[in-house]
Amino acid sequence: MNILLLGPPGAGKGTQATLLCQRLQLQHLSTGDMLRQAIREKTPWGRQAASAMERGDLAGDEIVLGLVQERLASSPSGAGHLLDGFPRNLAQAKALQDCGLSIDAVVELVVAEDVLVDRISGRRVHPKSGRVYHVRLQPPAREGHDDLTCEPLVQRPDDQPRAVRERLQVYAAQTRPLTAHYRQRLPGRVVQLDGGGTPLAVHEQLLAALGRIASTADA
């Protein structure tokens, strides 16, 4: 099964992707994580993507497509994938179609803007592992430090207020239209879910929605 997970920054894509990949044994393909890793490792693609990401803009399509193709090529054959944060615009959606990866379900997490801003502004991460906390909703045991390594937590540069505003605008202009695009291309396989609940409540809704999509597809 290949699933696309869409949603604005702060909607909980990363959290839901992790839960779903554990549950359904899917390969987690997060273009945001791949780009952050490329930046940490100072690869040519990472260097090119860094400033756009810090501003809250999208990284270039050719960089993202290169990373995705590399990752798909190294996936075990027959594996299912959860695509988290990709595609982000129509050009990427068309390139994905050209890759020949068949999409079984498209899920958009919908969350009110004030909740998104609250979630993002309180988010802190452990850069090496990608572990994510929230200063109020999911605080670490020791303030400002990772639970497992005790290393300092940081705020992602693109979680700063100005970049967040830009990311929300980019999402509205370039990514949200993908839901209509996929509704037309994959009728019956697209679902919008309220992402405002607790991670486990959203996870249960997500599983139920995938079950419904699978049963209508089989019928």
**Which residues form the catalytic set?**
13, 88, 123, 156, 167
Is 191 an interacting residue with respect to ligand AMP (CB under 6 A)?
Answer: no
Is 64 an interacting residue with respect to ligand AMP (CB under 6 A)?
Answer: yes
Is 31 an interacting residue with respect to ligand AMP (CB under 6 A)?
Answer: yes
Is 32 an interacting residue with respect to ligand AMP (CB under 6 A)?
Answer: yes
Q: Are 89 and 58 in contact (CB under 8 A)?
A: yes
Query: Among the candidate windows 38-46, 58-66, 102-110, 142-150, which touches ligand AMP by CB under 6 A?
Result: 58-66
Query: Among the candidate windows 15-23, 27-35, 100-108, 135-143, which touches ligand AMP by CB under 6 A?
Result: 27-35
Q: Provide the minimum distance between the beta carbon of 92 and ligand AMP in the complex, in angstroms, as a whole number.
A: 6
Instruction: Name every residue whose Cβ is closer than 8 Å to that of residue 182 and which is 6 or more positions away in sequence.
Output: 4, 93, 103, 106, 189, 190
Q: Provide the minimum distance between the beta carbon of 170 and ligand AMP in the complex, in angstroms, as a whole number.
A: 7
Task: Note the helical H segments in 140-198.
Answer: 161-170, 177-185
Query: Residue 182: phi, psi to the nearest 5?
Result: -75, -30
User: Which x/- pattern, by CB under 6 A, does the window 127-166 give for ligand AMP?
Assistant: -------------------------------x--------
Nearest residue (CB) to ligand AMP, 31 versus 205 = 31
Is 86 an interacting residue with respect to ligand AMP (CB under 6 A)?
Answer: yes
Token duo for residue 69: 């193709």
Query: In whole angstroms, how large is the CA radius of gyration of the chain?
Result: 17
| Length of the chain measured in residues | 219
Q: Please identify the residue of the shown chain whose CB is closest to the bound ligand AMP.
A: 32
Strand order in the sheet with 81-84: 27-30, 81-84, 2-6, 105-110, 190-194
Q: Are 195 and 111 in contact (CB under 8 A)?
A: yes
Handedness of CA 88, 168, 113, 162 (dihedral sign): positive
Nearest residue (CB) to ligand AMP, 21 versus 35 = 35
In the complex, which residues of this chain contact ligand AMP (CB under 6 A)?
A: 9, 31-32, 35, 52-53, 56-59, 64, 85-86, 88, 92, 158, 167
